[in-house]
Chain A
């Protein structure tokens, strides 16, 4: 049983590596022509650039650090605010109904366009990027929690009331844990968006960060550095996503895993 599943996952890895090799191979092959390489870069040079950044010159860490700090701040602040706002409106339907058009309007607004305004408000430092990221993260978490609160099982709620829980105990022992599972289902999306917000913010006006590096490279038609930056960001996003999955599986032991047979 275990050996077969192990050989199966080994097979999966082989296929994934094969596809990766294919993509890189195609990239390398097509970049042999200089007029194509001008547009797509060359994987070997991109690779040297990455090695340069990370191990030889070691000048990427400051920029990467800034971008990750912005991401983390936006992620934490956005999630907490989204959770609180979701709880509040989920628990007071009247307020929710009053605020409904405003929430819809803010959510439909193309919020990336706010970046220049945030630059004016908060300056060119990290806080304008954090602010932009928060606007992206907040709504994801908020809508998930809001929905989660509305979908708390009425039976579990009634049962907890019958067991003698008062209102604050209901919030702590029923609404919050129930909302947490919804928060976690939204975290994968929101951690990605926090990252997007930070990079786009840097791209639109900053003096530090990976987005800033990419913008600089574009200014000099240095396509290889642009791709190196993109790859680095992708890598970081993958690491963040894995972290979220780790934390999730540690905190959400009570949930049946996908594919796990549920006993009736």
Chain B
């Protein structure tokens, strides 16, 4: 029997009411599948609806048309099998680090003692057990991201959605975090490999981390215009994978597709008048 993939987007379109200008179609006809154990990145120019796609996959947005399947089942409401790591600060500022990681387990109604053990274990894995009693505002940006990561992974979601989670971090912290994510999601510490849908505008990051990259066209009505399989060997170290000659070939071929879209998007920002085809 064929196992259904963790996520299938079928012909997804999203339109928003943008007031005077009428409907703005962010994405149109998006087809995307994330297979079990696969790390898929979506890259595209700014404002092309990458986050929209992720929010549809999370069940936070319902598409104007099209179908979302989670393990073969049509998605209704919040995607309970998915964990979401946001681009912006998402921790509850009134809870300390431990209570933030505990939150999801608590909502599930898990036994408090067991929850604490799980949360402690995850805090240890992200190296923040010593900071369990601190509040988010007392941590650095990198530490807060780690807490978010522990918060999401503590629930052991089968599908992990990430929306440019490290874009606000400096390059060194970023590489550390990228390696940590790869290790936590695909290393030996997980019982089984996780599927990840990763949104980024950084092509280097996408190539370093993914099994497959989907390139989106510039908005409005953006849709996938290219798909690339990244056959770099795992386990990877994002800091030195750029030395691999194959990395450059992949980068060049993806950039060739992406560049035109970036230019289009850039031109649109300079001249924001809607140009309906």
Contact = CB atoms under 8 A, between A and B. Distances in A.
Contact of B103 (A160, A166, A254, A256): A160
Given A162-B82, A163-B151, A254 B137 contact: yes
Contact of B94 (A158, A177, A262): A177
Given A161-B78, A254-B95, A263 B140 contact: yes
Nearest to B157: A162
A169 interface: yes
Contacts of B78: 161-162, 164
A56 interface: no
Contacts of A158: 58, 60, 84, 86, 90
A169 to B, nearest CB: 5
Contacts of A165: 103, 107
Interface in B132-174: 135-141, 151-152, 155
B83 interface: yes
Contacts of A174: 92
B2 interface: no
Given A254-B93, A254-B96, A162 B103 contact: no
Nearest to A264: B141
A254 to B, nearest CB: 5
A173 B92 CA distance: 9
Contacts of A156: 89-93
B90 A254 contact: no
B151 A255 contact: no
B155 A163 contact: yes
A159 interface: yes
Nearest to A154: B88
Interface string B98-118: 000001100110000000000
B140 A264 contact: yes
Contacts of A177: 92, 94
B21 to A, nearest CB: 23
B259 interface: no
Contacts of B152: 162-163
A161 B58 CA distance: 10
Interface string A142-176: 00000000000101101111111110010001100
Contacts of B268: none
Given A169-B107, A262-B137, A263-B139, A161 B92 contact: no
A166 B107 contact: yes
A166 B106 CA distance: 11
A263 B136 CA distance: 10
B54 to A, nearest CB: 11
Contact of B89 (A155, A161, A164, A169): A155
Contact of A164 (B92, B94, B136, B155): B155
B80 interface: yes
Contact of B93 (A160, A161, A255): A255
The 3 A-B residue pairs whose C-beta atoms are closest, nearest first, are A159-B90, A163-B104, A162-B84
Interface of A: 153, 155-156, 158-166, 169, 173-174, 177-178, 180-181, 253-256, 262-264
Given A155-B90, A156-B93, A160-B103, 4 more contacts: A162-B58, A164-B104, A263-B137, A263-B138
9 contacts: A155-B88, A155-B89, A156-B93, A158-B60, A161-B60, A162-B84, A164-B80, A173-B103, A254-B94
